[in-house]
Amino acid sequence: MDKLQIEGGKRLFGEVNISGAKNAAVAILPASILADDGLCNIDNIPDIHDVKCLENIMVDMGIALTSERDGHVKINPNTIKTYSAHGENVRTMRASYYLLGALLGKYKKAEVAFPGGCSIGVRPIDQHIKGFEALGAKVTIEHGYIKAEAPNGLKGANIYLDVVSVGATINIMLAACKAEGITVIENAAREPHVVDVANFLNSMGANIKGAGTDVIKIVGVDKLRGCDYSVIPDQIEAGTYMVAAAITKGDVLIKNVIPKHLESMTAKLIEMGVNVEEYEDSVRVSCDKRPKAVNIKTLPYPGFPTDIQQPFTTLLSVSEGRSIVTESIWEGRFKHVDELKRMGANIKVEGKIAIIDGIERLSGAEVMATDLRAGAALVIAGLAAEGTTTVTHVRHIDRGYEKIEEKLRRLGASIIRITDNREYFE
């Protein structure tokens, strides 16, 4: 059980390179299964646990997948031996459900263990199932597995999502791109990673239009082929380093980003009095005074991303004045608040709302990462706190952040990883 030990108070200066987007990569890897021939050469795959986990699942299914050190992955999906994905790896991560859409789209059958993921609330998949059934598949859930099959093939359909869902939008695209006829997804998610998956599928020969808007049209094609592709940069990793620069009153150039994907976070930081300068593929964040309190409400893209809410809550906990944070996407995404309170934060959670009265400075403590972005929020708290902060259960952070302590150390943070192989009770 690794820990991160941080000496607070070091201002961050210098440059940091952002890695490929986790939430794009974990969809694009399974999407490569849809290639009928040829190889998929995918660049800018982040070196994170969720990707490793997914790669292992795909290799266990017989897929020829090789990943190289520099984030390049080569896949020949046509050595696959089975249409079902079993085991611990499948159950621990959320994105394994993309295997359903890819296998169903290509082989018209799939069996995947019920997905896991961060404990940020109930994580239903009713909209995924609604989409698959609309395309003509029969979906059953038994013995902890989701089984989908369409012996008579898949036919295009009009699908209206009852709730804006990134996963359901992507999974329906995967299943529909080789279906007979036209599929229209309405009330679709518009996140950058949804667009990235659509671009990847179109590079394989799919016919998808409208990704990035709330109406996506997919015209089914007979064959898809391997392609060369590079994953977009991770907007949430970028936002995390933007907050780290602000809270430490540093001056950091965050490189290899798409500034447009960061707009809502940039706007919020500027509202707080933080300096943000946008360049072609980087943003510079600097702050020389205590940020001001602001209100935040998480919404589907292009609204304020729920995945950056927890790091921002940390920044607001030391900002001047009272902030109200409304988490409208996940009902269990304030677990980091109890840990911030151990560090002196003054936050009251009432359902989906957190009322934050900023204090001058947090004090270092031993705190526990309960999920991926909560862990990031606690690391950020440690960077600015007085004294030493130890963040435990770092495996949650390793799921979505590549080399976090190396990147922070290079910016001047005092942070070390302590590897502790003793087993702890959760």
**Residue 132 CB contacts under 8 Å (≥ 6 apart), including other chains:** 100, 101, 104, 139, 148, 171, 172, 175
Tell me if 383 sits within 8 A of 13, measured CB to CB.
no
What residue has token string 């064959």?
A: 223
Task: Quote the least distance from Cβ 50 to ligand EPZ, whole Å.
Answer: 7
CA torsion sign for 244, 249, 250, 256 is: positive
Task: Quote the least distance from Cβ 349 to ligand EPZ, whole Å.
Answer: 17
Task: Please give the residue whose beta carbon sits closest to ligand EPZ in the complex.
Answer: 167
What residue has token string 């085991």?
A: 87
**Encoding tokens for residue 407?**
């990147």
Residue (93 or 274) nearer to ligand EPZ, CB: 93
Task: Quote the least distance from Cβ 27 to ligand EPZ, whole Å.
Answer: 7
Task: Quote the least distance from Cβ 328 to ligand EPZ, whole Å.
Answer: 8
CA torsion sign for 265, 97, 113, 52 is: negative
Helix, strand, coil % in the chain, rounded to nearest 5 = 35, 25, 40
Residue (13 or 145) nearer to ligand EPZ, CB: 145
Residue (287 or 380) nearer to ligand EPZ, CB: 380
How far does Cα 92 stand from its chain's mean position?
A: 15
What residue has token string 């990847």?
A: 200
Task: Quote the least distance from Cβ 126 to ligand EPZ, whole Å.
Answer: 5
**Encoding tokens for residue 267?**
């706007």
Distance between CA 52 and CA 64 in Å, rounded? 14
Q: Among 40, 53, 118, 287, which one carries the catalytic annotation?
A: 118
Distance between CA 119 and CA 327 in Å, rounded? 15
Site residues, ligand EPZ (CB under 6 A)? 22-23, 26, 94-95, 118, 120, 123-128, 163, 165-168, 189, 306-307, 329-330, 372-373, 400
Can you tell me whether residue 74 is helix, strand or coil?
strand
Residue (32 or 165) nearer to ligand EPZ, CB: 165
Distance between CA 192 and CA 184 in Å, rounded? 19
Q: Is 118 a catalytic residue?
A: yes
**Encoding tokens for residue 20?**
């490929």
Residue (330 or 334) nearer to ligand EPZ, CB: 330
Tell me if 133 sits within 8 A of 65, measured CB to CB.
no
Task: Quote the least distance from Cβ 197 to ligand EPZ, whole Å.
Answer: 10
**Encoding tokens for residue 74?**
């080569």
Residue (244 or 287) nearer to ligand EPZ, CB: 244
Distance between CA 134 and CA 122 in Å, rounded? 24
Q: Which residues of 64-93 are buried (b: 16+ CB within 10 A; e: fewer)?
A: ebebeeebebebbbbebeebebbeebbbbb
Task: Quote the least distance from Cβ 193 to ligand EPZ, whole Å.
Answer: 6
Residue (48 or 285) nearer to ligand EPZ, CB: 48
Distance between CA 419 and CA 426 in Å, rounded? 17
What residue has token string 């995947």?
A: 112
**Residue 50 CB contacts under 8 Å (≥ 6 apart), including other chains:** 22, 26, 93, 95, 399, 400
Residue (178 or 373) nearer to ligand EPZ, CB: 373
Task: Quote the least distance from Cβ 307 to ligand EPZ, whole Å.
Answer: 4
Tell me if 320 sits within 8 A of 293, measured CB to CB.
yes
Which residues are known to be catalytic? 118
